C-alpha cells in the first residue's frame, strides 16, 4: 500500500480532511497562515502591569519539565526579573527526566513550585479504563479521552493562583504544537486561530461515541464534561468562571525558535531530554509515547509529523531535514512502550495497534 505525502510538508493522504492540488501540495499547506508575534516590547509593557502589585508573586507559570515551559520560566525570571510561582500537575506518567529538569530549574532560579495531583490511583485507573474501551474501536478522535485528567487542570491552576493572589498566568505552549489534523478530524478548523464549527464537532463526537458505546459506562462523564468545558483556558466557561484571571502565551509575543529554546535551557538550566527516547519534545509525559502510536495506527499521522510540517511551512527547517528527523525522533523503542503500558496493567497486543 503506497502512501502519498504532500510535496511541500510531511502530511500523508491519510490525514483527516486532506486534499492535494495538481502539484501534490496539500490543502493544509495552501491555507496555512504563518505565526505572528506581537513583539517583546509589548510583552514587557504588559508584564510591567503585574510587577510588584500585590502578594508574594507577580505571575504563575505552568511547568512540565519539557523544553518550552522550562524556557518560559527562564525568560520570566532571568530576562524580565519577575517573581514567578511555578505550578506542576504531578501526572503519574511524568518522566523521571522531566522531574529532574523541574528540580534543577527551581534550584538554579530559586523559585517555588506547587505540585498537585488527583487522589492516589485515580488518574491511572481512568486511563486504564479509557484505553481498554478505546482498543475495542480504535479511533483518533477519541484518543483525548485517555488524557482527560490532564485536560482538567485549568480550574486547579486558577484556584492556586487566587490563593496566592496571582492574576496573571503565563504559559509556554507554542502555536505550532496544536495538531491541526486533530481539529480537522472532528470537523473543526485546520488553523490554530480559526474557530471550529461547533455543531459539526458535536455531531462528529456523538457519532464516535455511538460507534463505541462502551464509553458510556466506562468513562467518568463528569470528568469528560469538565474536559470539554475547561480544556482550554480560553473556553467560554472558564472565562466566565474566572474573570479575574489573565492568561497569556509567551510565544504570542516572541517567536518560538526551537534551537534558541533548547540551547538556552541546556546551557543555563542543565536541562536534558529523556535518555529513553530520541525526541526532545513531549517526553515529559510518558503516555505520549503510546499516544504517538495510537495516532499513527488510526490516522497515519503523529503530532511530531504535524509539528515538523508546520516548521517546514514556517521556513524553519527543510523538508529533507524534517523527514530525517521524523524517522529518528518518532521512533519509540518497543521496550519503552511496554514499560508505560505495564503501569496500567496492559500489554502491547491489548491496544490493537497496527504496525506494532
Residues that bind Zn ion (CB under 5 A): 6, 8-9, 11, 26, 29
Residue with Cβ nearer Zn ion (118 or 295): 295
> Which contiguous run of DSSP H or E holds residue 73?
helix 67-74
As measured in angstroms, the least distance from the Cβ of 302 to Zn ion is 15
Cell 484571571 identifies what position? 245
Give the distance from CA 317 to its chain's centroid: 21
Contact 126, 92 (CB under 8 A): no
Cα(332)–Cα(230) distance, integer angstroms: 31
DSSP letter for 195, please: P
CB atoms within 10 A of CB 211: 13
Residue with Cβ nearer Zn ion (15 or 70): 15
Residue with Cβ nearer Zn ion (35 or 340): 35
As measured in angstroms, the least distance from the Cβ of 262 to Zn ion is 25
Cell 519539565 identifies what position? 65
Residue with Cβ nearer Zn ion (132 or 319): 319
Residue with Cβ nearer Zn ion (6 or 47): 6
Cα(320)–Cα(312) distance, integer angstroms: 10
DSSP letter for 278, please: S
As measured in angstroms, the least distance from the Cβ of 2 to Zn ion is 17
Cell 496544536 identifies what position? 178
Cell 518522566 identifies what position? 95
As measured in angstroms, the least distance from the Cβ of 56 to Zn ion is 48
As measured in angstroms, the least distance from the Cβ of 28 to Zn ion is 5
Amino acid at each position: 500500500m503506497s502512501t502519498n505525502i504532500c510535496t511541500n510538508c510531511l502530511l500523508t493522504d491519510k490525514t483527516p480532511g486532506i486534499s492535494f492540488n495538481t502539484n501534490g501540495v496539500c490543502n493544509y499547506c495552501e491555507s496555512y497562515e504563518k505565526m505572528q508575534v506581537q513583539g517583546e516590547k509589548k510583552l514587557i509593557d504588559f508584564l510591567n502591569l503585574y510587577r510588584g502589585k500585590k502578594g508574594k508573586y507577580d505571575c504563575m507559570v505552568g511547568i512540565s519539565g519539557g523544553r518550552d515551559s522550562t524556557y518560559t520560566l527562564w525568560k520570566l525570571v532571568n530576562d524580565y526579573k519577575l517573581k514567578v510561582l511555578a505550578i506542576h500537575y504531578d501526572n503519574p506518567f511524568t518522566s523521571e527526566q522531566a522531574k529532574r529538569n523541574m528540580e534543577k530549574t527551581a534550584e538554579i532560579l530559586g523559585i517555588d513550585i506547587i505540585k498537585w495531583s488527583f487522589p492516589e490511583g485515580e488518574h491511572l485507573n481512568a486511563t486504564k479504563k479509557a484505553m481498554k474501551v478505546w482498543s475495542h474501536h480504535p479511533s483518533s478522535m477519541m484518543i483525548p479521552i485517555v488524557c482527560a485528567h490532564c485536560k482538567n487542570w485549568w480550574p486547579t491552576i486558577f484556584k492556586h493562583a487566587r490563593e496566592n493572589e496571582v492574576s496573571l498566568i503565563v504559559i509556554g505552549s507554542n502555536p505550532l504544537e496544536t495538531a491541526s489534523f486533530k481539529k480537522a478530524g472532528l470537523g473543526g478548523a485546520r488553523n490554530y486561530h480559526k474557530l471550529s464549527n461547533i455543531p459539526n464537532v458535536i455531531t462528529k463526537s456523538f457519532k464516535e461515541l455511538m460507534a463505541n458505546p462502551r464509553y458510556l459506562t466506562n468513562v467518568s462523564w463528569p470528568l469528560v464534561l469538565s474536559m470539554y468545558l475547561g480544556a482550554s483556558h480560553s473556553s467560554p466557561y472558564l472565562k466566565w468562571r474566572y474573570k479575574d484571571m489573565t492568561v497569556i502565551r509567551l510565544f504570542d509575543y516572541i517567536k518560538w525558535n526551537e534551537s534558541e529554546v533548547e540551547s538556552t535551557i541546556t546551557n543555563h538550566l542543565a536541562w536534558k531530554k529523556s535518555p529513553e527516547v530520541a525526541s526532545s519534545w513531549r517526553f515529559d509525559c510518558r503516555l505520549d509515547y503510546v499516544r504517538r502510536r495510537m495516532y499513527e495506527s488510526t490516522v497515519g499521522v503523529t503530532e511530531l509529523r504535524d509539528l515538523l510540517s508546520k516548521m517546514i511551512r514556517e521556513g524553519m527547517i527543510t523538508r529533507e531535514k524534517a523527514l530525517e528527523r521524523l524517522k529518528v525522533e518518532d521512533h519509540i523503542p518497543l521496550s519503552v512502550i511496554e514499560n508505560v503500558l505495564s503501569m496500567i496493567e496492559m500489554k502491547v497486543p491489548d491496544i490493537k495497534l497496527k504496525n506494532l
